Amino acid sequence: MPELPEDSTDRHVARWRGHWVLENAPYDDTVEAITTRMGHIMRHLREHKNAAAAEVGLEAFEYDTLHSLMIRDTPGSASPSALAAELDVSRAGMSGRLESLERAGYVRRTTDPEDRRRLGVEATPAGIDAWRRTMALRGSEEDQILGVLSAKERSALSSLLKRVTLGIEADDG
């Protein structure tokens, strides 16, 4: 593989290597480079997600709420409290989000016919369409940024990241 040009992470790592602030502290150039690059990639994807949502006419929080609603075991429907928990938003905050989405025609609130106290939220066709258009823009960007890797390299990267994820999940579990 040919030598790659310097990137912002290389400059970051070089700046910290041997820095007096880190004196007697463990510092691994490779670990720092990996975590810094992962952070850079995630910031890029988050910014692009927000831009994609805006292009479709959604606020970032509206897209996040629709996304949580759509990727469930019961796609397109959930209780407001389940959405609030998944998105780490207060119930009052979720109520505000749902009011905004309902006014825009992206969701409708429902009641359980057997227990009128149980509320639900359903994505409307307009909400599903807005979510799908945003997802297409996001997917296009993901394909583009990972397009610099071959299929074999993408597979290897996925496997390596899976090992890291399994380690995190084992620690959390």
Sorted by where each starts, the structural domains of the chain and their CATH numbers stand as 9-168 (1.10.10.10)
Res. 117: pLDDT tops 90: no
Contact yes or no for 82/71 (Cβ under 8 A): no
- 173/160 Cα distance (integer angstroms): 20
Per the DSSP assignment, residues forming a β-bridge with 120 are 110
Between 113 and 36, whose confidence is greater?
A: 36
Contact yes or no for 112/118 (Cβ under 8 A): yes
DSSP 3-state of 9: helix
* Residue 89 token pair: 């938003």
Rounded to the nearest angstrom, the gap between the alpha carbon of residue 82 and the centroid of all alpha carbons in its chain is 18
**Beta strands, E only, the chain:** 77-78, 107-112, 115-123
Q: How far apart are the first and last CA of the chain?
A: 38
Between 18 and 143, whose confidence is greater?
A: 143
Average model confidence (pLDDT) for the chain? Answer: 92
DSSP 3-state of 67: helix
pTM metric for this prediction: 0.84
Asked which of 13-22, 38-47, 49-58, 100-109 is least confident by mean pLDDT, the reply is 13-22
Sign of CA dihedral 55, 124, 85, 160: negative
* Residue 32 token pair: 């720092």
